[in-house]
Amino acid sequence: MYFVTICVEERRPLFGAVASSGMVQSAAGEMVAQVWRELPLTHPTVTLDEWVVMPDHLHGILTLAASDSGVSLSQVVSRFKSFSTRLYRQGVRDQAWPECGARLWQRSFHERVIRNDEALAARRQYIQDNPRRWWEKRSG
């Protein structure tokens, strides 16, 4: 299992806003959520766990099962970024979403291997609390 964080280039808040009630996704945020949800369809060795799309990043827990296909975490994240960038650019053109500049996503991503149930519970809680922490940091 991996805990991953993928950030928007220059941390631009393109995917919505956080209110006291939680994350309110824009149409672009909904698209990113949909692309994330569909990862197991394009990569059958991927299983999703807890995740959240925030205004300028995504946190997610996923399992990458061993298989003959040899798909790596980097390949999964790269495909996610590529596909969501293509759809984002369509949204800019067709739905007047904000421009994203040369790149939608930062070049890299952060990952951490989840080695036990305690670490998994902590990462799940971190993801669940992320909108509340974001709200408290900015409103208070």
Q: pLDDT digits over 39-63, tens only? A: 999 999 999 999 999 999 999 999 9
Task: Give residue 100's domain range.
Answer: 2-139
Q: What is the pLDDT of residue 66?
A: 80
Strands (DSSP E) contained in the chain are: 2-7, 16-19, 22-25, 46-53, 57-64, 110-113
Q: How far apart, in whole angstroms, are the C-alpha atoms of residue 15 and residue 46?
A: 24
Predicted confidence (pLDDT) per residue in 50-109, tens digit = 999 999 999 999 999 887 678 899 999 999 999 999 999 999 999 999 999 899 999 999
DSSP state of 89: H
Q: Which two tokens stand for residue 7?
A: 């950030």
Given a contact cutoff of 8 angstroms between Cβ atoms, the answer to whether 108 and 78 are in contact is no
Q: How big is the CA angle at 20 (ends 16 and 22), to the nearest 5 degrees? A: 50
Outline where 12-56 has alpha helix (H). 27-37, 39-42
Q: Which two tokens stand for residue 16?
A: 């919505």
Total-model pTM:
0.93
CA proximity to 35, closest of 90, 86, 89, 96 = 86
In the three-class reduction of DSSP (H, G, I as helix; E, B as strand; rest coil), residue 82 is classed as: helix
State how many domains the chain has.
1
CATH code of the domain covering residue 69: 3.30.70.1290
